[in-house]
Amino acid sequence: MLRMLLSAIGLVMVAIPRRIVENAETLAFENPEDAILRGWTIPMARLEGIGFLLLIRRTGFLSGVVGVVIGLFGSMAVVAPRRYLDFGLSLAYENPDDIAVKSWVLPVTRLLGITALVLTVVSQRGEGDN
């Protein structure tokens, strides 16, 4: 069931990345009309969806090096959510300093980091049981 849900998310990321980004901007930014995407952001979002789908197809998709990398990104989001968010905005937008994020974005960033850490630890423990 989880794989089906994650696969659906990956397919949507591949099929309509611009719509996802625009909706996310509307939800997360106080001033979405001021955000200027970098030219490669939408193609990279689509590539992220493809990578997501490839990972899901693997057995133990959060195990090994991939799980460790996801855990590292998760730990950065937990420890320093503002810096993590600023870094992501600077990668995706030409004018990250002009973007005002809504008050709920930082706590949700930290929560997503905790989720990534938990999933990684559970996956890594499960791999050791085999």
- What residue type is 27 in one-letter code? L
pLDDT at 127: 57
pLDDT tens for each residue of 61-120: 666 777 788 889 999 999 999 999 999 999 999 999 999 999 999 999 999 999 989 888
Pick from 51, 36, 18, 26: nearest CA to 102:
26
DSSP letters for 28-63: HBS-GGG--B-TTHHHHHHHHHHHHHHHHHSTTTTS
pLDDT tens, residue by residue, 13-62: 999 999 999 999 999 999 999 999 999 999 999 999 998 888 777 766 66
Write down the mean pLDDT value for the chain: 89
> What pTM was computed for the model?
0.82
- CA separation (Å) from 59 to 7, 63, 75, 108? 13, 9, 24, 28
Share of the chain above pLDDT 70, in %: 89
Q: Where are the domains of the chain?
A: 2-128
